[in-house]
A = this chain, B = another copy of it.
Amino acid sequence: MTEDRRSRVDGARTRAVILRESVAMATIDGLEGLSIGNLAKAAGMSKSGVYAHFGSKQDLQLATVEEAGRIFREEVVAPALVAPAGVGQLVALCDAFCEHLRRRAFPGGCFFAGAALEMGTRPGPVKDRVAAFQGALMELIRQFADTAIAQHELAADEKPELVAFEVNGIILAADTTYVLHDDPGVLEVARHVIRRRLGVS
């Protein structure tokens, strides 16, 4: 490996370490609560070291949303995409979300649930990215529901967008209740609720 290549690889690794820390911190203090100083302390780096990767707080916030999206896709969406099409995908998404909560991927629960409420009152590019992520997730759930209806797993008069709204509600209730009460029983309730709603035993 050339000196130059090694330095780029090290740089990418450092950036990844900072961002993982940043997503975790944002689930405690919010995206507005992120500061290059606090992040440097948490990652055991100098402030100038963090500055070298993110020129401004907004750049850091945008990169944090992107990294949170990458982790969500890897941990929650990917298991659903390889599940049996239709109801199987809806159940797999909900189960993977509960598993993401159960092993405390982040201390404050689902990054996007918190970010949506926090950014709602803060128009700008960071809010736009959070809204785009949430919109894409809802569209994916809607497609799963559409397939489930087409395959007669759900009644013909079900509306995919209403099913998506309910599934989103179930995962939000799991997140909020689990984060607040720290009770794994909540995740079992969520697993029951989604199965009962979708007619799966």
Give chain A's interface residues, CB within 8 Å of chain B.
27-30, 32, 107-109, 113-114, 116-121, 127, 130-131, 134-135, 161-162, 165-166, 168-173, 175-177, 179-182, 189-190, 192-193, 196-197
Contact = CB atoms under 8 A, between A and B. Distances in A.
Given A117-B108, A121-B107, A121-B108, A193 B176 contact: no
Contacts of A176: 113, 116-117, 134, 168, 172
Output the residue of A27, A30, A130, A182 with the most chain B CB within 10 A: A30
Given A166-B197, A169-B172, A170-B166, A180 B120 contact: yes
A114 B119 CA distance: 11
A161 B177 CA distance: 13
Contacts of A190: 165
Contacts of A166: 166, 169-170, 173, 193, 197
Question: From DSSP, what is the main secondary structure of chain A's interface residues?
Answer: helix
A117 to B, nearest CB: 5
A161 B186 CA distance: 11
Contact of A189 (B107, B121, B162): B162
A162 to B, nearest CB: 5
Contact of A30 (B30, B107, B120): B30
A24 to B, nearest CB: 10
Contacts of A197: 166
